[in-house]
Amino acid sequence: MRILVVEDERSLCDALATILKQNKYIVDVCYDGIAGEDNAMSGIYDVIVLDIMLPGKNGLEVLKSLRQAGVSTPVLLLTAKSEVEDKISGLDLGADDYLTKPFVTGELLARIRAMTRRKGEYTGDSIVVGETALDKNTMELSHKGRSVRLGLKEFQLLETMMANSAQIVPKERLIEKIWGYESEAEYNAIEVYVSFIRKKLMAINSDIQIKAVRGVGYCLESST
């Protein structure tokens, strides 16, 4: 799962990125509202952590632009303790939740998990397609008592495909989400990791398989 953190306090922003990466999230950071809005408009993120007080363009303005553009990515606003009106305005503009600074790391992670559950991508700490489950804490893939642990890139790729199991995921989107915008990763890198994942799906006798859509990307098919 990919998260965008938009926060102008660089020490806090970098600390949040480190914490999220330690919890197996892919993280991009921006230090001002203009760059944050530009990144958020891409639609590649699963959650946006957005501070309200930002240079260039404040968080509420960014949020308003996103919702007007039809970007429905869940947004967690970071607010100052006393700014009740900002919290109300943010929720009215389409924020999914807010967190008051200073906050405890555990609460941040819990709120992110809650937002992704509401989005319908996760059941607890697992993503389930058919009868196959992917545990995002242990990176284990399991089916009817059999399990296998995935490598980090395998986990990130399969997590993205399982979270979007009802649609074709373009190769370009996979590269952006897993390797990032500036990456020089090529399509054959994805094909190598998909091959590894397919072997592990077979090893646990999974009821899902990865289908390649020629010239486009990949989708999941379930036999149940």
* Domains of the chain by residue range: 2-119, 126-222
Tokens of 90: 């943010």
pLDDT > 70 in the chain, percent: 91
Which range of 69-73, 183-187, 210-214 scores highest in mean pLDDT? It is 210-214
- Find, among 109, 140, 126, the residue nearest to 47 by Cα: 109
Q: How confident is the model at residue 179 (pLDDT cuts 50, 70, 90)?
A: confident
The pLDDT mean for the chain works out to 87
Model pLDDT for residues 26-67, shown as the tens digit of each residue: 899 999 999 999 999 988 888 999 999 999 999 999 999 999
**Candidates 1.10.10.10, 1.10.580.10, 3.30.420.40, 3.30.479.10; CATH matching 126-222:** 1.10.10.10
* Residue 28 to residue 186: CA distance in whole angstroms: 20
In b/e form, how buried is each residue of 174-199, taking b as 16+ CB within 10 angstroms?
bbbbbbeeeeeeeeebbeebbeebee
Contacts of residue 124, defined as CB under 8 A and 6 or more positions apart, other chains included, come to: 117
Contact 84, 77 (CB under 8 A): no
The pLDDT confidence band at residue 121, using thresholds 50, 70 and 90, is very low
More confident site: 179 or 142: 142
Short-list 51, 53, 74, CA closest to 1: 74
Q: How many residues comprise the chain?
A: 224
- The span from the first CA to the last CA of the chain, in angstroms, equals 25
C-beta separation of 1 from 46 below 8 A:
yes
Which residues, in sequence order, are bridge partners of residue 78?
A: 51, 99
Question: β-strand 217-222 against 140-143: which pairing, if any?
Answer: unpaired
Contacts of 166 (CB under 8 A, 6+ apart): none
Q: Which residue has the tokens 């899902």?
A: 208
pLDDT at res. 117: 65
Query: Domain 2-119 belongs to what topology?
Result: Rossmann fold (3.40.50)
pLDDT tens per residue across span 82-106: 667 877 888 888 888 888 888 888 8
Return the pLDDT at 115: 80
Q: Is a pLDDT exceeding 70 seen at residue 183?
A: no
Q: Is the fold of 2-119 the same as that of 126-222? A: no
